């Protein structure tokens, strides 16, 4: 197979396979040691090389998922825990009646929307698969407002290139609040919504109540739960450490995170 020779040389084939496997093993040893010692440097150079390619190849792809009710996962897994701050607990006790989603930054019309405000918009329902970076997945129905509707209402200014999604503080991220950044093109995807329902019921606390982001062309860590604000910006460096989100800033994750 290697040399196109019809004669059979099992010893040579085994030797070639062994050398190939050894090369792969040594590459992984060197790459692992280098990346562990130079995590930020590897992230920066990796983004510099890969981000243009990933966005060029996959940036225009759109989610058209449509699962059946019979395919919904009976026990949908979840990462993290609901916020325990007095502010969040007080809102939860009142059914999030006083919760507001602040939309600010580079927009023509800053907004402060209540849960009832969101429910007045035409609702979009979709049954899609959640893909976690940890390797698990789950199918659920999500109901909410398309981000296109929100953007039409707040009217991002010409200089806006990204939107940062900010959450209430959770114990596992303290003293920081969780946040992630996405491009406006990603937010215009037809299945990117602000979800306030899950499986035709009020969004449970463990899944991000009262409102969470669903952006079905991304892995799960980009879909911010426990939303409190959306900020339109022109540069990712304006948020956190400037690498595109909480996990990118503190755990060296990839900011594109395409599925």
Q: What is the CA radius of gyration of the chain?
A: 22
Positive or negative, the Cα torsion across 112, 115, 119, 120? negative
Q: What is the pLDDT of residue 90?
A: 97
Q: What is the pLDDT of residue 52?
A: 86
Residue 111's DSSP bridge partners are: 103
User: At 4, is the pLDDT very low, low, confident or very high (cuts 50, 70, 90)?
Assistant: low
φ, ψ (nearest 5 deg) of residue 128 = -135, 170
Q: What is the pLDDT of residue 145?
A: 98
For the chain, domain boundaries = 10-56, 62-251
184 half-sphere exposure, CB direction, 13 A CA radius = 20
Name the percent of the chain lying above pLDDT 90: 76
CATH number of 62-251: 3.90.420.10
Residue 195's DSSP bridge partners are: 144, 212
Q: What is the pLDDT of residue 238?
A: 94
User: At 3, is the pLDDT very low, low, confident or very high (cuts 50, 70, 90)?
Assistant: low
Mean pLDDT computed over 29-50: 86
User: At 50, is the pLDDT very low, low, confident or very high (cuts 50, 70, 90)?
Assistant: confident
pLDDT surpassing 90 at residue 48: no
Report the chain's mean pLDDT, rounded to a whole number: 93
Residue 214 in contact with residue 192, Cβ under 8 Å?
yes
Instruction: Please state, in angstroms and rounded to a whole number, the distance separating the CA atoms of residues 180 and 208.
Output: 14
Least confident among 8-17, 85-94, 158-167, 216-225: 8-17
pLDDT surpassing 70 at residue 258: yes
User: At 226, is the pLDDT very low, low, confident or very high (cuts 50, 70, 90)?
Assistant: very high
pLDDT surpassing 60 at residue 2: no
Mean pLDDT computed over 126-134: 95
Structure confidence by residue, pLDDT tens digits, 181-221: 999 999 999 999 999 999 999 999 999 999 999 999 999 99
pLDDT surpassing 60 at residue 131: yes
pLDDT surpassing 90 at residue 93: yes
The pTM (predicted TM-score) of the whole model is 0.87
């Amino acid at each position: 197979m290697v040399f196109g020779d019809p004669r059979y040389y099992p010893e040579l084939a085994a030797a070639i396979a062994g050398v190939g496997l050894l090369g792969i093993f040594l590459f992984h040893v060197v790459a692992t040691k280098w990346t562990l010692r130079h995590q930020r440097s590897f992230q920066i150079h990796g983004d510099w090389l890969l981000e243009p390619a990933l966005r060029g190849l996959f940036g225009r792809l759109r989610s058209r998922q449509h699962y059946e009710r019979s395919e919904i996962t009976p026990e949908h897994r979840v990462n993290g825990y609901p916020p325990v701050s007095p502010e969040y607990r007080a809102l939860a006790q009142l059914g999030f009646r006083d919760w507001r989603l602040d939309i600010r930054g580079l927009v023509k019309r800053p907004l402060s929307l209540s849960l009832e405000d969101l429910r007045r918009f035409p609702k979009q329902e979709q049954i899609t698969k959640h893909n976690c970076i940890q390797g698990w997945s789950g199918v659920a129905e999500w109901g909410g407002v398309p981000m296109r509707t929100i953007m039409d209402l707040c009217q991002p200014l010409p200089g806006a290139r990204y939107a940062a999604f900010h959450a209430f503080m959770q114990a596992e991220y303290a003293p920081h609040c969780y946040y992630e950044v996405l491009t406006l093109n990603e937010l215009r995807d037809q299945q990117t919504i602000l979800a306030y329902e899950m499986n035709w019921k009020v969004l449970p606390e463990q899944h991000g109540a009262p409102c969470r982001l669903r952006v079905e062309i991304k892995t799960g860590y980009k879909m911010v739960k426990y939303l409190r604000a959306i900020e339109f910006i022109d540069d990712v460096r304006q948020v956190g450490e400037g690498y595109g989100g909480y996990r990118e800033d503190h755990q060296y994750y990839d900011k594109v995170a395409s599925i």
